[in-house]
């Protein structure tokens, strides 16, 4: 229908519906009243916008549109578990990848060590850097690495830094109250992104960028040439001022359909099933001789590896196993490195996955592993 959703005036329906469905999702995720939001194409764009706000805020809005030359060196902090969209946002924003400080992680969920985060900020300040913000993650891509948001938020507040939380994948699970412990403290974040196009079943593309102070986004991104001025329209929202792109699609419509068609209870049931089935296949695999669970399920994501005949051939063997599983064509898996060694990622997340599919995946994985071992 080619709706043009840049300004309220070019599509009042798209604007009003966007405000409405974002507020439904805010409530569904248990985020407090103070958050508004905007629908972006991707988490990468939302994180870039958040980093641009960090930059402008740290420079006290003076660097806006004038370039970074002559400014103090900015610093942004995250763990090594964050998605590569964070790396890209740091160099695309001109902050420079050398100014993304990797804070050491620890514990079951590979969380930033709070004391290490605070120490890094203070060391940088003493050395003349300008700390600008922290990017925390909930459900990192590799193994579901998750920061202690409450602890990170307390440090960010104490240090006067902007906090962005990337929950692109895991955020969908927060419609289930029993999973919200994974991001407790999130209400203190300045900015949160999650992708309904990942685990909630929205058609691609659809990423929600929640934000506590939309004024900071508008101050960073809005631009108003004469032809975009809408006369006599004070107090309306022009969502194009909240994002890098000007032109926008009517993404709220598919969210409205998704929520109306399945209801929150239907979506919760899907997510709960995925988590339960992942936990079940992980414990079944753990009992098969030769299989090792490398990282326990974080929601519906875990990693495992299969024992090779010779210890030094483990990585090679597991890569061969993934190749054979994917060539077989019934399931699709990817690999990652955990503490330097290859591991296979398993995750249930597709909208129409049934329990029988997960049982089939177990047969595929164990069957192909047995065949490979017998053949070698
Ligand atoms: C998928 C993912 C991203 C990137 O999302 P896009 O919408 O493809 O940009 C960023 N962070 C996390 C944690 C993700 O899972």
Distance between Cα 112 and ligand 1 center (Å): 19
* pLDDT tens sequence across 81-101: 999 999 999 999 999 999 999
Residue 147's nearest CA partner among 137, 158, 157 is 137
User: Are 44 and 82 within 8 A, CB to CB?
Assistant: no
pLDDT at position 351 over 60: yes
Residue appearing with tokens 């909208």: 351
Residue 102's nearest CA partner among 76, 123, 140, 129 is 76
Specify the residue with its C-alpha closest to ligand 1, atom 2.
168
For the chain, the residue count is 376
How far apart CA 49 and CA 43 sit, in angstroms, is 10
Give the chain's radius of gyration (CA, Å).
22
For the chain, what is the mean pLDDT? 93
Segment 30-38 shows an average pLDDT of 95
Question: What confidence tier does 2 reach under pLDDT thresholds 50, 70, 90?
Answer: confident
User: Are 110 and 143 within 8 A, CB to CB?
Assistant: yes
Is 141 near ligand 1, meaning CB less than 6 Å away? yes
Q: What is the full DSSP assignment across 302-358? A: EEEEE--SSGGGHHHHHHHHHHHHHHH-S---EEEEETTEEEEEEE---TT--HHHH
Pairing of strands 291-298, 207-211: unpaired
Return the top range by mean pLDDT from 119-128, 233-242, 304-313: 119-128
Is 43 near ligand 1, meaning CB less than 6 Å away? yes
Q: Which of 166, 174, 336 has most ligand 1 atoms within 8 Å of its beta carbon, as the pocket-test mutant?
A: 166
Residue 7's nearest CA partner among 243, 202, 209 is 243
Atom of ligand 1 nearest to the CA of 42: 7
Domains by residue range for the chain, with CATH: 12-249 (3.40.640.10), 263-375 (3.90.1150.10)
- Whole-model pTM: value is 0.95
The share of the chain scoring above pLDDT 70, in percent, equals 95
Q: Which of 46, 88, 191, 195 has most ligand 1 atoms within 8 Å of its beta carbon, as the pocket-test mutant?
A: 195
Is 44 near ligand 1, meaning CB less than 6 Å away? yes
Atom of ligand 1 nearest to the CA of 205: 7
């Amino acid at each position: 229908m080619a709706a043009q959703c840049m300004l309220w005036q070019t599509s009042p329906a798209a604007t009003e519906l966007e405000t409405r469905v974002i507020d439904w999702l805010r409530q569904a995720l248990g985020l407090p009243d103070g958050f508004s939001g905007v629908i972006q194409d991707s988490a990468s764009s939302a994180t870039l916008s958040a980093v641009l706000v960090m930059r402008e805020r740290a420079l006290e809005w003076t660097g806006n549109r004038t370039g970074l030359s002559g400014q103090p060196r900015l610093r942004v902090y995250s763990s090594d578990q964050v998605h590569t969209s964070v790396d890209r946002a740091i160099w695309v924003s001109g902050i420079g990848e050398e100014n993304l400080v990797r804070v050491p992680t620890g514990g079951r969920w590979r969380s930033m060590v709070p004391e290490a985060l605070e120490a890094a900020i203070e060391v940088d300040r003493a050395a003349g850097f300008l700390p600008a913000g922290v990017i925390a993650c909930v459900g990192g891509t590799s193994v579901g690495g998750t920061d202690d948001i409450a602890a990170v938020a307390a440090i960010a507040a104490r240090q006067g830094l902007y906090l962005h939380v990337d929950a692109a994948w895991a955020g969908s699970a927060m419609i289930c109250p029993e999973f919200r412990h994974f991001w407790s403290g999130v209400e203190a974040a300045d900015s949160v992104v999650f992708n309904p196009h990942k685990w909630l079943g929205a058609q691609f593309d659809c990423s929600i960028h929640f934000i506590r102070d939309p004024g900071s986004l508008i101050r960073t991104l809005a631009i108003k040439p004469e032809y975009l001025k809408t006369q006599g329209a004070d107090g309306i929202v022009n969502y194009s001022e909240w994002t890098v792109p000007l032109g926008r699609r009517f993404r709220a419509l598919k969210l409205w359909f998704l929520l109306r068609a399945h209801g929150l209870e239907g979506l919760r049931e899907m997510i709960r099933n995925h988590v339960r089935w992942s936990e079940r296949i992980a414990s079944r695999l753990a009992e098969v001789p030769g299989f090792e669970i490398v990282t326990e399920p974080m929601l519906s994501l875990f990693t495992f590896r299969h024992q090779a005949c010779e210890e030094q051939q483990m990585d090679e063997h597991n890569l061969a196993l993934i190749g054979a599983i994917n060539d077989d064509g019934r399931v699709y898996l990817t690999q990652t490195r955990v503490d330097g060694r290859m591991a296979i990622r398993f995750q249930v997340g597709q909208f129409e996955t049934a329990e029988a599919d997960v049982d089939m995946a177990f047969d595929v994985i164990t069957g192909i592993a047995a065949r490979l071992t017998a053949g070698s």
